Structure 1
């Protein structure tokens, strides 16, 4: 009788405790994609528990404390991790979703009106991989190492970056069976009291759940039977006949029935320095296209299942769209099918950890997102930055038992910059807390929490303020270019994608970042300088559009290295010449090039020889920089009738150089001191490492001055110069 009464009270308590079913959508509002829960616009700020053992279960003491901390400061959006491994047992036909319920219930126990996004890892369970070795990834350069252990007591993602046993992302069997289990989870969880609080599914797969191909940083996937079958089917769709395949591959060795995945030697082969010649390397280019497509198709497939199964409107999102800090292996494991992802109706948001590039992430850095944000917004998708940088704290000894005072003013400045920048850019973030796995929360401190509360409340009041870009610089990026580059670390790639852009972002100007395929979606009138950062491949149609619509109206166009060198069919220096309007010549440089920028005077160099290497030989141009050894011009400006052309035979480096190019272009310089400065929608952010007296020049001509301490943030009203947050 006592047991019956107890169970009755538990059931009654759960019924009273349950929320009404929630729904969520992302739709345009005030000029930006906005998250709505039950029709109410939300400030896009989450707190998330880690996926790591020791800190991932919401009901355990330390995670529960930190969930409650964020609830107390006003957070109502939370994210928790769950793996199919947790609920899909070997030899069981059905899922046991009690752990899923308990994971959501743990959040609700600390914050009764919370809205929860479940990060569901759809990777095959480890027992499934062992039972289906022919469905698993194989590598062109290494044997699968079956001794690498993952899962309890190891983290589930242990050894993802190595040649571990993992289901091929091209496996039709894995995709079908994991898809069936995802549908089952959605149907079951949606009917529970805990499911009422679920507003989203973050669908995770591949390395660390970030849709990178298994082992891609160190190895060359995927030569297994599943990927080989997929590749042959992909080739049949593209070429239709063996005759067409052999013509394009320039070989009689392969047919549609026996085509294989390229070897490591083939993948690394190039015909022109860093560049693959499409005429001679189409086999490798085709494979990388197929590999990239299968990953994107997987992500879209699983998100579609969630959308079509959940009985109420639900938000779906993925990790995708990484460009910055992708380990110089974008071709093998990056996110090159970004356009297809952005166009998918089944995906509402993209996300990534903020860049790991040290100069960007540490004090004084930009805290740049890894994705191309303005393109994401143009396609109606929301973006979320993952803030996972507690390790930057000065005292990071991870004491497991004794709580210690962990406040550090420099780290506090970093974490505030990490939060303010995405909210200013019209996107969101979540704090991803690895701290509990070591015995405390990274932000379990009253000062950090008070700061986070202040930030959230400030931006909640701005939800009704229309979003508008205040940039007059536009940085243009390409993902397609990586199909035509050697799939290895190159002196130009890490330099441009991580190092150079960070220096540009500290020039005191404000810039937007878009993909090359979105140029025709923009109102170009606001931009005085447009920098083609890594756009070495342009179609003939794109090149025509740039000539007719972009290189106009007195703008300065910066062609950063070999803009448009390939059109997808061939490599041709004349493509570059026609864009720049300059006479360019090849030269042979047998040592690491050193660039001497003339005014202002400084030098910089690369970490290896650059091939192909060009110089400017044109008397109608003004030399801005030259090779230190030979005095040949490598950066030059040419004034045309409708625009100014600046060609960089070697990528532009140096904050001072970027600032001078932008100044000559007529761009507004807010700050001359190499701090990170950003403005958007009436706000101006300044983040400095060194401190000192700063003079900020507003667009209306007003100058404001501030004495700043080391490691300082200032958030100003961009019109009055009034400090609105410190």
Structure 2
């Protein structure tokens, strides 16, 4: 086995995978099915293109599948090392239990509200197991039994002749192996009930505190009543895409939000998500302990809805990286594949975020190409360059994910929302990246990535977007609106942006910024409020608070204008009625909105959202509704924008001297308005034509949202070279 020294190290501002003292560059490579399917020649060509890191599927011993057992792994490692000398491997470990375990442990399974077991066709990568019961991802017995199987596998891998090729493990469980609980939140099985009781005991300490918080006298930790399915569903919030017949406030809802008075509902959702995080940490600890810290460990997990990711996994000494696919929305030319995570928080914690860059190509099946607007090799090249540029400039790692699988393709055309679409032989596609032009691009990408390991890759952003994990769980409706805004509007700001968690504001390693944007700071506890104030209320910084920032205080469950005022510095009145969110600018002569179109309608989502997986566009520009709404009533505030519906303040600013506070009463602001606020805060704007910009100290990537000449303004004089062609745009260039 290799010597100790495998780690994530931040070098030159960039977190890097270091194996036995040597840094390895992105990108890596993975396939959908067993590596046995990959032809030797394809592996060799990938190696010649500079790919050195590979993900290989492997089962725990209890899953009886000759394609993924230890003998198959032995064969695949030897074959990979033969075709790609020096290749390094992360094993994608399937932690799923076998059918025999499911049948022997009914109390560890997911149960419906009726008490019946949930059965589903389990489809994950190349598995297709019909009518299977579902295991609970918080089951302590599954953790223990799968953990013992994991230790056995680790011993077996160490004993293989090519076992030293394995430098880390990628933990996989749940739906699509991405730690998603099949059945969602609402598990009535014994395993979850035990977990929930323990979680409540850890949160409240005493039965008296639990009874007081839930306003349910006479309950205890062991018998805490389980919220009914209708109440649990309230976290989705009301659908306010159109005027609603029902009043926006009820026992279940505060408009877009779950009624925070229902502490039992919020607690159950939080406990379910935290239990999954605990399971990831459990298995990561096993790998680290068994290898004395030598092996790297990662898992699929990174979405904002995954509560405790920041407080547990990023703080963990047992986990090195997390990963997700890029979001399956707006993957069209002229748009970007956005990512789920707060990537700059990973940098603070010496962690790496990896993107599963599953770019569809002209060699994918026709139905896939249609979903993703790939009509030629040029389209594939453009999208691969776009996604790599994002990874390079934001200091991410990634892997090209070739989802062709000869076995799966005999049944279906694609793994996108189309597993039930029969695929005739001539429409099954072939290996997605095994094309001379794409392999040539990969080779150049790897050269650029290797050079970046020695370059200055420090983040140069002057803008921080600060997201809150717990707020995301207060309303799925508001959360989904915020994600759409981040992907389609914030991304067009035209300047580099850092993404961090609220809890990072108290971290002394987090640097200062000129503009802080809070898209979802709806829930803030006392400790967070103090850390926010300590960070943003100085240096003349500007803070942009969106929608009902700070209204919910989880310490006591209150939702009020007073809570929001304490956080943002504005006096508010809280309006429960529905309002159409469109607003226009009224303070045209103020520097904070300088250059903005006075006739443009803000507050609406003015961009079409294309959901690739289901091939469905969602039109933009139509009316949008919200409730509740915080209206600035502060006599010291300057009103910059007013609602079209009633003329009440929709955008306001207050200058406190040491800092400046801006409140937007809706969730949507146009890119030009964001740029104006950024300039008001003293931030440098690279591009003002709504194109997608990614940047660090040495690299700039621009994906054009429209055709035509683009003017780019650099923050300092630089020697500009186009990396794919070698074209030189001059020395000491600023524009």
Residue 191 of structure 1, CA deviation: 0.9
* Whole-angstrom distance in 1 between the partners of 2:98 and 2:471: 35
1:412 counterpart residue number: 381
Alignment of 1:163-562 (within 5 A): 165-216=133-184, 220-252=185-217, 254-269=219-234, 270=252, 272-276=254-258, 278=260, 280-310=261-291, 313-323=294-304, 330=305, 334-358=306-330, 361-390=331-360, 393=362, 396-397=365-366, 407-437=376-406, 438-483=428-473, 485-486=474-475, 489-490=476-477, 492-521=478-507, 527-562=513-548
* Whole-angstrom distance in 2 between the partners of 1:258 and 1:385: 42
| Matching residue within 36, 40, 58 for 2:22 | 40
| Matching residue within 98, 115, 139 for 1:125 | 98
Counterparts in 2 of 1:720 and 1:75: CA distance versus 1, 3 Å: farther
Residue 249 of structure 1, CA deviation: 1.6
Residue 299 of structure 1, CA deviation: 0.5
| Matching residue within 51, 54, 63 for 1:88 | 63
* Whole-angstrom distance in 1 between the partners of 2:73 and 2:659: 58
Residue 182 of structure 1, CA deviation: 0.6
Residue 654 of structure 1, CA deviation: 1.6
Residue 381 of structure 1, CA deviation: 0.6
* Whole-angstrom distance in 1 between the partners of 2:702 and 2:75: 43
* Whole-angstrom distance in 2 between the partners of 1:504 and 1:149: 38
CA contact (8 A) 1:317 1:347 kept: yes
| Matching residue within 27, 30, 50 for 1:74 | 50
Counterparts in 2 of 1:573 and 1:64: CA distance versus 1, 3 Å: farther
Residue 431 of structure 1, CA deviation: 0.5
1:602 partner SS = coil
Residue 553 of structure 1, CA deviation: 1.5
1:480 partner SS = helix
Counterparts in 2 of 1:549 and 1:577: CA distance versus 1, 3 Å: same
Q: Scaled by the length of structure 1, what TM-score is found?
A: 0.84
2:688 partner SS = coil
Deviation string, structure 1 residues 415-443 (Cα, Å, up to 9, x no partner): 11111221222221101110344452111
Alignment of 1:617-696 (within 5 A): 617-696=633-712
1:692 partner SS = coil
* Whole-angstrom distance in 2 between the partners of 1:722 and 1:129: 63
CA contact (8 A) 1:57 1:103 kept: no
2:248 counterpart residue number: none
* Whole-angstrom distance in 2 between the partners of 1:156 and 1:81: 12
2:600 counterpart residue number: 602
Residue 395 of structure 1, CA deviation: 7.3
Counterparts in 2 of 1:185 and 1:470: CA distance versus 1, 3 Å: same
* Whole-angstrom distance in 1 between the partners of 2:442 and 2:632: 51
CA contact (8 A) 2:137 2:179 kept: no
CA contact (8 A) 1:596 1:626 kept: yes
Residue 608 of structure 1, CA deviation: 5.2
Q: Scaled by the length of structure 2, what TM-score is found?
A: 0.83
Counterparts in 2 of 1:141 and 1:454: CA distance versus 1, 3 Å: farther
Moved over 6 A (4+): 19-23, 701-706, 712-719
Counterparts in 2 of 1:131 and 1:142: CA distance versus 1, 3 Å: closer
| Matching residue within 621, 624, 629 for 1:613 | 629
CA contact (8 A) 2:713 2:734 kept: no
2:499 partner SS = strand
* Whole-angstrom distance in 1 between the partners of 2:448 and 2:69: 42
Residue 467 of structure 1, CA deviation: 2.8
CA contact (8 A) 1:621 1:636 kept: yes
Aligned residues: 661
Residue 151 of structure 1, CA deviation: 6.6
CA contact (8 A) 2:80 2:87 kept: yes
1:696 partner SS = coil
* Whole-angstrom distance in 2 between the partners of 1:717 and 1:495: 40
1:174 partner SS = helix
Counterparts in 2 of 1:542 and 1:670: CA distance versus 1, 3 Å: same
2:562 partner SS = helix
* Whole-angstrom distance in 1 between the partners of 2:499 and 2:320: 20
User: What are structure 1's unaligned runs of at least 5 residues?
Assistant: 1-18, 51-55, 324-329, 707-711
